[in-house]
Amino acid sequence: MSTQEQLLERDSFIERSARSRARALLDPGSMRELLDPFCGIASPWLPQQGVTAQADDGVVVAKGLFDGQSTVVLAIEGAYQGGSMGEVGGAKIAGALELAAEDNRHGIPTRAVILFETGGVRLQEANLGLAAIADIQAAIVDLRRYQPVIGISAGTVGCYGGMSIAAGLCSYLVVTREARLGLNGPAVIEQEAGLAEFNSRDKPFIWSLTGGEQRYHSHLVDAYVEDDTSQIRSTLADLFQRGLPARHRSAQVDGFLARLAEVDAKVQAAPETVRSIYSKGFSA
Amino acid sequence: MEKREYTFAAGLPAAGRALAGVVGSGDLEVLLQPHQAGITVIVVHTSVDGKGAVWDALLARVFGGEPLPAASIIINDCGATPGVVRMRIEQAYEDLASGEQA
């Protein structure tokens, strides 16, 4: 097959909208959207600041079945305000996760998938967004006691800020080569630490440190997949099959601290150094 | 921010709901729901001020001809050009026709 044919054949996940991503992951015909755009629950804060609000606040809450089991997919629309988390969108994610945990306590084993395409908190909504992200994090930790919470970052926005912490709390993380995962975005690091430390215009450099491939080889994510809808779906099925991890990555604090102690902050971090330190594993 | 409201003559009620587009730079979302026969009402929220005449002309062109199915339409605009606006409106009506409901 020629490259052109391959490109035409491929069912890209990245090119899909948040709603279309959610529909593609759930069993055909099983998706039901909660607080859909026609409910009119949009951000009350953005119009006051001259920014048009999207009717769903950039978050799709999709309830349905995955391989026949109750699942909720929370898809963030990266094309709207950089996927930023405001009061409404954040509450939609946190509320859905809380209801999923409640389901589990009532004998309905509901699982969750979060599609992270987000730069983190929405600056226009400041503390309300931060509070919502804290709610999301608490809800992930609650739900993952019962069922795996799986995060996917396909790109092209990636996952940054407080939402990267939320991603880190997930039972499993899936990324593509286009994805990026990091606490501070490149522009913020450059602004705070200087051009010599981090050049936010150097894309190969950014991806070499925070890109999906690097994060996979540094054992910070669990699966590295092509931008292919069916491969992402089957990876999700495999991970759900695996059940809860023996120990969540974020619970291995001692191991992470031991690895971080090996970092020499006097020399510029290089992708290879990060890989070799992190490949020693996190079980202290 | 500007809010503009329009009413146009229309045909029978639209067959369902449809959603097209995203509120990204240079783009917009169109939310379309059925409305009582004969009337289409449109509310436009736009982040770009002072383009009222362009909206008037564009929507009159789209809705002033052959009556389209009667709908209640909300447009959330983030600086889309008239061509993109027209395309998104047509996309919403097309999704209705193909039964691909939002």
How far B22 CA sits from the closest chain A CA (Å)?
7
Domains present along chain A, CATH in parentheses: 9-246 (3.90.226.10), 252-284 (no CATH)
Contact (CB, 8 A) for A113 and A20: no
Split at pLDDT 50, 70, 90, the class of A284 is low
Average pLDDT over residues A95-117: 98
Confidence check: pLDDT of B102 > 60? no
Chain A partners within 8 Å of B72 (Cβ): none
Q: Which tops the pLDDT comparison, A282 or A72?
A: A72
Provide the ipTM. Answer: 0.94
Distance CA A142, CA A139 (A): 5
Mean pLDDT is lowest, of A33-37, A83-87, A267-271, B52-56, for A267-271
Contact (CB, 8 A) for A127 and A85: no
pLDDT value of residue A222: 97
Tell whether B20 is within 8 A of chain A (Cβ): no
Residue A32: closest C-alpha in chain B:
B102
pLDDT value of residue A276: 94
Over chain A, what is the mean pLDDT? 96
Across the interface, whether the CB atoms of A37 and B33 are under 8 A apart is answered no
Smallest Cβ distance to A52: which of B19, B31, B77?
Answer: B77
Distance CA B46, CA B69 (A): 24
Chain B partners within 8 Å of A54 (Cβ): 22-23, 29, 76
Confidence check: pLDDT of B58 > 60? yes
Q: Which two structure tokens, joined as six digits, stand for B7? A: 């009413």
A30-69 pLDDT tens trace = 999 999 999 999 999 999 999 999 999 999 999 999 999 9
pLDDT value of residue A5: 87
B65-86 pLDDT tens trace = 999 999 999 999 999 999 999 9
pLDDT value of residue A9: 85
A271-278 helix and A203-210 helix, angle to the nearest 10 degrees? 0
pLDDT value of residue A161: 96
- Residue A115 identity: L
- Outline where A11-86 has alpha helix (H): 18-25
pLDDT value of residue A212: 97
Q: What is the pTM of this model?
A: 0.96
Q: Which helix (DSSP H) or strand (DSSP E) does residue A256 occupy?
A: helix A253-261
Tell whether B95 is within 8 A of chain A (Cβ): no
Average pLDDT over residues A165-174: 98
Average pLDDT over residues A2-8: 85
Across the interface, whether the CB atoms of A77 and B27 are under 8 A apart is answered no
Residues in CB range of A158: below 8 A, 6 or more apart? A116, A117, A178, A179, A180, A181, A182, A210
Contact (CB, 8 A) for A118 and A129: no
Q: Which two structure tokens, joined as six digits, stand for A93? A: 């994610």
Q: Which two structure tokens, joined as six digits, stand for A41? A: 């629950």
Over chain B, what is the mean pLDDT? 95
Confidence check: pLDDT of A19 > 90? yes
Average pLDDT over residues A2-29: 93
A212-254 pLDDT tens trace = 999 999 999 999 999 999 999 999 999 999 999 999 999 999 9
Split at pLDDT 50, 70, 90, the class of A150 is very high
Question: How many A/B residue pairs have CB atoms within 8 Å?
Answer: 47
Q: Which tops the pLDDT comparison, A2 or A139?
A: A139
pLDDT value of residue B93: 96
Neighbouring C-alpha atoms within 13 Å toward the C-beta of A269: 18
In chain B, where the domains are located = 2-98
Residue A78: closest C-alpha in chain B:
B24
B40-57 pLDDT tens trace = 999 999 999 999 999 999
Average pLDDT over residues A264-270: 89
Q: Which helix (DSSP H) or strand (DSSP E) does residue B43 occupy?
A: strand B39-46
